[in-house]
Chains A and B, each alone.
Chain A
Amino acid sequence: MANQQINSGNPRVDLEYRRKKNAEEMRYQVVSFTLMIFLTLVAFAAVAIEGFTAWFTVPFIILLAFVQVVFQLFYFMHMSHKGHEAPSLFLFSGLGFGLVMVLAFMTIVWW
């Protein structure tokens, strides 16, 4: 799905190819949106339906959130396209620092 620059030497053909590519990518976006809605529904249902213990529900909904964020980043924010090496470095180092921070606060802060 990399959005590469194409060059056949014929501008008309290139243009049509690109429009098709864009339309095809938009279909993928709609599919990922549908999946995101589905993941959201599952997460809300897991909480709404009685009978699951917190030991199951909490890790489960956090996992769903991470999956949904991957869709958001890689499809909606185009991180699956090439030319996103630096953005990946920035975002994932931010996320790395962030996770350490969450871990630290949850273990050393008490009231």
Chain B
Amino acid sequence: MHAEEKLTYETWPAEPEKSTLEAKNKFLGFWLFLGGETVLFASLFATYLALKDKVPSADHALAKDLFDLPLTFVATMLLLTSSLTSVYAMYHMKNFNSQKMMLWLGITVLLGLGFLGLEVYEFNHYVHEYHHKFTSSAFGSAFYTLVGFHGAHVTFGLGWILALMIRNYKRGLNLYNAPKFYVASLYWHFIDVVWVFIFTVVYLMGMVG
């Protein structure tokens, strides 16, 4: 099969994300990238754990003063649900249903935006209420680098999915764009994988002390 082939519901392959050479290369290359991302985030986690609560004087806020359980919980639920909705999108992609795929991707984007909004609110709150800034302490730098980098990934992921949706809205699915959607959904799941560790290591462990 080649990428530009016109396909129907009947001729759509079982694994459209891996049915052309280009798709196979994308798939492999993207997983290599995710392996690299794992190392990158692990180094940021390592830095955060080493510098957690390392502040120059006692008037600086520590992890246990900052974090708020309900806010983190809502953000976690939003991102976790968005991971499921992108699974639904890929389910419809495999069934050659472009419209339903777009619908579920749209829901994924909305949930992602909700998460991002909460994060913006949260950072703003820390800066204004607690004077917990990027430059105020080693703790601040490590915290904003780790959590902010994740937030940047969410932002990039939203832009990526939206760009794919707009570009392919009228085209429908083919073997050229199906692997692109698949890879974008892998990226979105990976963002959720990182968040699982962030809410555990940064927020929950931060509140335990």
A-to-B contact residues, CB < 8 Å:
3, 5-6, 11, 15, 18-19, 22, 25-26, 29-30, 33, 36-37, 40, 43-44, 46-48, 54, 57-58, 61-62, 64-65, 68-69, 72-73, 76-77, 83, 86-87, 90-91, 93-95, 97-99, 101-102, 104-106, 109, 111
Closest partner residue, chain B, to A104 (CB atom): B46
Q: What separation, in Å, do the CA atoms of A44 and B200 have in the docked complex? A: 9
Q: What separation, in Å, do the CA atoms of A94 and B37 have in the docked complex? A: 8
Minimum C-beta distance from A110 to chain B (A): 8
Q: Indicate if the CB atoms of B196 and A22 lie closer than 8 Å.
A: no
Interface size classification for chain B: 35 or more
Q: Indicate if the CB atoms of A30 and B84 lie closer than 8 Å.
A: yes
B99 beta carbon closer than 8 Å to chain A:
no
Which of B49, B50, B73 lies in contact with A44, CB distance below 8 A? B73
B87 beta carbon closer than 8 Å to chain A:
yes
User: Chain B binding site: helix, strand, loop or mixed by DSSP?
Assistant: helix
- For B18, list chain A residues within 8 Å (CB): 83
Q: Mark B172-209, 1 if CB is under 8 A from A, else 0.
A: 00000000000000100110110011011100110111
Q: With A90-B34, A91-B31, A94-B34 as given contacts, are A43 and B200 in contact (CB-CB < 8 Å)? A: yes
Q: Indicate if the CB atoms of A99 and B42 lie closer than 8 Å.
A: yes
Interface residues in B70-119 by Cβ distance below 8 A to A read: 72-73, 76-77, 80, 83-84, 87-88, 91, 94-95
Q: What separation, in Å, do the CA atoms of A19 and B101 have in the docked complex? A: 15
6 further interface pairs, Cβ-Cβ under 8 Å (given A15-B9, A44-B72, A69-B193) = A36-B80, A47-B69, A65-B197, A94-B35, A101-B46, A105-B46
- For A29, list chain B residues within 8 Å (CB): 84, 87, 91
